[in-house]
């Protein structure tokens, strides 16, 4: 079994926020199957000063139904559940800090395709994690 290396270990800080997510079905324009842990989708949410088609490098790290990090990289993640979210470029954290809040709706994106919808349920390290 291939194990996922937690982003907390790789990046040296906690996650920025948590979402509940649901991957779209094929009929809804989604994926054939769900991804594995380590999936690096882009993230999109509507905000006032956004450029057209602007995507953000904010990656999900999927949790199991007990809230534990899924470590096995070889099995698909659940179609719906919760995920820790990581702002990958720390210099963008100040931009997101004033915009991401509980209840915000966003999407996991693959190119211009929305493949999952999500809602922010907790803002955690976003306000205190490094900005450089």
Residues 25-41: tens digit of each pLDDT: 999 999 999 999 999 99
Query: Mind listing the pLDDT tens digit for each residue in 38-84?
Result: 999 999 998 877 777 789 999 999 999 999 999 999 999 999 999 99
| Distance from C-alpha of 129 to C-alpha of 132, rounded to nearest angstrom | 9
| Distance from C-alpha of 97 to C-alpha of 119, rounded to nearest angstrom | 16
Query: H/E element holding 10?
Result: helix 7-11
The pTM for the full model equals 0.95
Q: Where are the domains of the chain?
A: 7-126
Token pair, residue 49, equals 């000063």
- In CATH, which of 3.10.20.740, 2.40.30.10, 1.20.1560.10, 2.40.160.40 is domain 7-126? 2.40.30.10
């Amino acid at each position: 079994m291939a194990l996922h290396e937690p982003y907390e270990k790789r990046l040296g800080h906690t996650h920025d926020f948590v979402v509940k997510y649901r991957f779209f079905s094929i009929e809804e324009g989604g994926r054939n199957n769900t991804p594995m842990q380590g999936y690096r989708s882009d993230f999109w949410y509507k905000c006032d000063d956004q450029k057209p088609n602007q995507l953000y490098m904010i990656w999900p790290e999927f949790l199991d139904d007990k809230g534990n990090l899924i470590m096995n990289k070889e099995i698909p993640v659940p179609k719906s559940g919760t995920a820790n979210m990581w702002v990958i470029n720390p210099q963008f954290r100040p931009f997101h800090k004033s915009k991401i809040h509980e209840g915000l709706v966003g999407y996991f994106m693959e190119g211009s395709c929305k493949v999952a919808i999500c809602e922010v349920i907790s803002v955690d390290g976003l306000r205190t994690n490094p900005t450089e």
